[in-house]
A and B are shown apart, each in its own frame.
Chain A
Amino acid sequence: MSSQLSNTSFKFVALGAGNEVGRSCHILSYKGKTIMLDAGVHPAYQGMASLPFYDDYDLSTVDILLISHFHLDHAASLPYVMQRTNFKGRVFMTHPTKAIYRWLLRDFVRVTSIGENSILDKDDNLYTDEDLVESFDRIETIDFHSTVEANGIKFTAFHAGHVLGAAMFQIEIAGLKVLFTGDYSRELDRHLNSAEVPPLPSDVLIVESTFGTATHEPRLNREKKLTQIIHSTVAKGGRVLMPVFALGRAQELMLILEEYWTQHAEELASNQVPIYYASDLARKCMNVFQTYVNMMNDDIRKKFRDSQTNPFIFKHISYLKNLDEFQDFGPSVMLASPGMLQSGISRDLLEKWCPEEKNLVLITGYSVEGTMAKYIMLEPDTIPSVNNPDLTIPRRCQVEEISFAAHVDFQENLEFIEKINATNIILVHGESNPMGRLKSALLSNFASLKGTPEEVHVYNPRNSVDVVLEYKGVKVAKALGN
């Protein structure tokens, strides 16, 4: 279909996360080697529609597939790729990613098969439990900072600071170095270190653009806002619903709440205002967090060493398996999945609590276009019931957004991009408008290099649209320049 590319062409294509957030999947090819990055699903869609555009690439040509982290938008179509397509490559992820991936996807299969089994066919799943089990053993694990060579491709994982186990990959093919950030954060938080800058330079940078040119408020302010609004809501007898993705940022939020409840024990603790986390999955994964405490920051490691207990087992937070065991008598704080209120426990609670003015829905993650979390922030008068599309529910509760999403803001992204010093920058994982604004901001930032050999090119390709870069002889010049 496409014209024959010369041997020195580097080709990039996004099958997902091109001008959108969700279904991350990118394919790089250079000198006959092909690397796939991530295999996610889109949180605003279900079934086939949530997949990256796999039909647009011959997956049998992929040599290796690297998964950046366990979030569904980066990993949840992996069993589909391994079991249902003609993909034959090797798959790699870090140890903690694999440990959590196992639980997460089992839950994903279960949730989607229950949520979907209306009057229609039973087989609405992208893959089955068996697919998951069969493919799981074929996933190879890698250590951070150790370079792996597979099929003539070298790659190294660096900490991305986004969730436990999240990696950036620096990939080297025939001398050309490409860095893929995945989702990354440059902020030191309560349990993770900030993302690392790889010691070696990169020629091509594939970087997330979730927040575009937006600026995060300082961390301390956000924590203060968060705890204050929660405290004042429960003080008035209200309920606080915090929709969260089961693993990752939820643990960070719990560390904040646990500390605040300890500090305000007289008014809040001893079950006066209970905090619940309605996630059996998170409970199951607690030992994974304990196992990999050594990959977290000094602060949490010290806590772990000093107290000899798992810092992710909380005094003031109880786990709920489901809502059946929840007695909704008075003010409480509830963390519940899914994070974008699409269905499930968080959605059930939303529909139960949103008619009451004193209650609060507190959005802390990034909300993808097309999801209920995004919609509720418009403060609509009513919301549709998920189980009964003919029913609408009045919304009088408060809605607040305080972001604890572990993605870089503009300043952090720019500083990192400048450190990487790549001349070709490919933006992914951002809605069109923020991504477009980021592109313009980067171009004006690097405007002085225009016309020089160091000129910086920025691309924001849509899904299935190729970016082709010529790397003939450029290597030598670059090596001298550095």
Chain B
Amino acid sequence: MSSTIFYRWKSQREPSRILFDGTGLTVFDLKREIIQENKLGDGVDFQLRIYNPDTDEEYDEDQTVIARSSSIIARRSPAAVKINMGGGSTSNRTPHKMIGNAARYVTGRPRVFNTTSKRP
């Protein structure tokens, strides 16, 4: 555990950190680590986005590598929901499905260079 990436929740004052071995983490693995570190659950009802603190640009590619010692901003939001308005339904149910959430970071297989003791 020689490397560190600092992340600060958008609404928080102080940063937190992720410890790991290696020269960097992919966005995928970093998000996965943040979700586990904060015990955010199965990822179904929220989405996690991370940003470059200097440019405010989102890191939206899972493969992008964040170098060790970097700082990022993390943002937890409700899962994006697609409401099905069609069909002239008179039912009062709100048929919707989650179209953007963080579930794949939880269910996805960890990368090989990540710590290997993860549960499936």
Residues of A bordering B, CB below 8 Å: 18-19, 45-49, 53-57, 59, 84-86, 120, 124, 432-433, 436-437, 440, 462-464
Contacts and interface: CB of A to CB of B under 8 A. Distances in A.
A433 B40 CA distance: 25
Q: How large is the interface on B (under 10, 10 to 19, 20 to 34, 35 or more residues)?
A: 20 to 34
A45 B93 CA distance: 24
Interface stretch (B5-13, B21-29, B60-68, B111-119): B5-13
Contacts of A57: 11
A433 B93 contact: yes
A85 B94 contact: no
A48 B92 contact: no
Contacts of B13: 84-86
B12 A84 contact: yes
Interface in B7-48: 9-14, 38-41, 46
Given A48-B38, A49-B39, A440-B92, A462 B11 contact: no
Contact of B78 (A59, A84, A124, A463): A463
A388 to B, nearest CB: 17
Contacts of A59: 11
A86 B38 CA distance: 20
A59 B13 CA distance: 11
Contacts of B38: 47-49
Contacts, number: 60
A53 B93 contact: no
Nearest to B14: A84
Contacts of A85: 11-13
Nearest to B81: A462
B76 A53 contact: yes
B70 interface: no
B92 A55 contact: no
B107 interface: no
A86 B92 contact: no
Contacts of B9: 48, 54-55
B39 A46 contact: yes
Interface of B: 9-14, 38-41, 46, 74-78, 81, 92-94
Chain B CB within 10 Å — which of A18, A45, A49, A433 has the most?
A49
Contact of A436 (B14, B74, B78, B94): B94
A49 B40 CA distance: 5
B77 A433 contact: no
Given A47-B38, A48-B40, A85-B12, A53 B77 contact: yes
Pairs of residues from A and B, 5 with the lowest C-beta to C-beta distance, nearest first: A54-B11, A55-B10, A55-B75, A463-B78, A437-B92
Give the one of B39, B78, B93 with max A CB within 10 A: B78
A433 B75 CA distance: 28
Contacts of B40: 47-49
A47 B92 CA distance: 33
A119 to B, nearest CB: 12
A124 B9 CA distance: 15
A61 to B, nearest CB: 12
A45 B38 CA distance: 12
B11 A47 contact: no
16 contacts: A18-B78, A46-B39, A47-B40, A49-B40, A53-B76, A53-B77, A53-B78, A55-B75, A55-B76, A55-B77, A84-B14, A85-B12, A124-B39, A433-B94, A436-B93, A440-B92
Contacts of B41: 45, 49
Contacts of A47: 38-40
Contact of A432 (B10, B14, B75, B94): B94
A46 B40 CA distance: 8
A57 B13 CA distance: 14
Contacts of B10: 54-55
Given A49-B40, A84-B13, 20 more contacts: A18-B78, A19-B94, A45-B41, A47-B38, A48-B9, A48-B38, A48-B40, A49-B38, A49-B39, A49-B41, A49-B46, A54-B9, A55-B74, A55-B75, A59-B11, A84-B12, A84-B14, A433-B93, A437-B92, A440-B92
